A and B are shown apart, each in its own frame.
Chain A
């Protein structure tokens, strides 16, 4: 089966669970920005959780299916329809041959995932189908989809059963982007009490400088008391870097593998999906948790995905 792009969205890319194993060669992992919604979408249509899907950003585009298909939309709710009938989020939907799916703008956060039973089939690059937009590698020709592009899915598809979701409140809890939880980093002490007070007690706004590589925040200027440069070292996913300007930057899935700005804190793994849903103009607050809490929250999130069972 193929999917024809009749109208392009703002930034629709092919993503899977990322491309680990090459950071020492300067290649960051990439992969779904909201891996929580991405994995659930795959489970809904009966795919393996890490099969490739389309990641849709802010506005969606139009996609025609050349044969009957089973799809699911997860993540933020977008205005989506097939033949003027609204398509619900967090559930699977059957689409008939020749029908097209229209995805307009988001009612909510930055991204949704269009998962198709069988998974999107683009050539593997270094064991992954993820697009790394900043360097133009992987996915569909290393770039966002354009009008006229044709995507294939796997011929046979997977044989897993489809899953029905019931606990929507639980899902909203994982994706509540009013709060982003962090743990303190080793150079966290470079920032004094006033810096930490601003960081944790004031609201930040997501600026227009927003990409899969990093998200620049506005609202408060945080100053390190020990300079703005560290000896260049590896940058973790979710690191909150503070350059001289004082506007923090959250390093994200396509981040540079090494960097020289001090990091005040690091987003916990369970809240990376929230970061993936932040969009320009959103305001939120950081909350400090400890390492053990962070580990437990992530394990609970994984258990939630794992326990979604067949209908």
Chain B
């Protein structure tokens, strides 16, 4: 796969390197982030402690107790060269069943009011969208999901909630996301999925991964309860 993107690699601290593939998340830049992240997962480089994909970059933290930032910088250059020969596998389509509104989506009303549309319009627009996961970040298993219809954009809450239930489906600015674990959170909650998307004991088996396509499917309360119990 040939990708026309930059590969600018600069120390971000005395233990990290930031690889920038471009200034913004254009399709080519997004593809380069996907490709190189995939490569790093399949070909772990000795001396790399962590890598953090973002919209247009990957931050690499170096195990400086055993190697140096300079040496990893060279290895990454070589890896970028080698990664040009791989093909990305087909991305998976993940269907997320959502009970919208009510006690599970207390901000659905606000999202509707803010955008001057009805609650059922919000459900309709949110569940017909085609989305993909740009990367996982922020907290364990949290997918940054791109592709929200601009008609649904809603600013974050002024005061974040102390506890957002696991499985909450939310809108924050121009993004939509799913809270994998109960955590604090400042996004508008529009619904909840009864399916566990992330198990902290087995993060490698997460239901949602970087690059997956996401589809939200509305369900009713009966199905929600049935799935929650199974």
Contact = CB atoms under 8 A, between A and B. Distances in A.
Query: Does B associate with A?
Result: yes
A29 B49 contact: yes
A135 B50 contact: no
A21 B50 contact: yes
B50 A20 contact: yes
Interface residues of B, number: 47
A231 B139 contact: no
Contact of A236 (B10, B16, B55): B16
Nearest to B181: A135
Interface stretch (B113-121, B186-194, B198-206): B198-206
B12 A26 contact: no
Contacts of A234: 12, 16, 18, 51-54, 57-59, 137
Contacts of A126: 203
A22 B181 CA distance: 16
B18 A186 contact: yes
Interface range, A side: 35 or more
B69 interface: yes
A199 B204 CA distance: 41
Contact of B140 (A26, A267, A268): A26
Contact of A137 (B14, B68, B200): B200
A246 to B, nearest CB: 18
A29 B63 CA distance: 12
A251 to B, nearest CB: 10
Given A27-B140, A135-B183, A256-B138, A236 B49 contact: no
A24 B41 contact: yes
Interface in B1-46: 10-16, 18, 24-25, 37, 40-41
Interface of A: 20-27, 29, 125-126, 134-135, 137, 183, 185-186, 231-239, 256-259, 266-269, 291, 294-295, 298, 302
8 contacts: A20-B63, A234-B12, A234-B58, A235-B52, A239-B13, A256-B137, A269-B15, A295-B14
Q: Which 3 A-B pairs have the closest CB atoms?
A: A234-B59, A234-B52, A258-B137
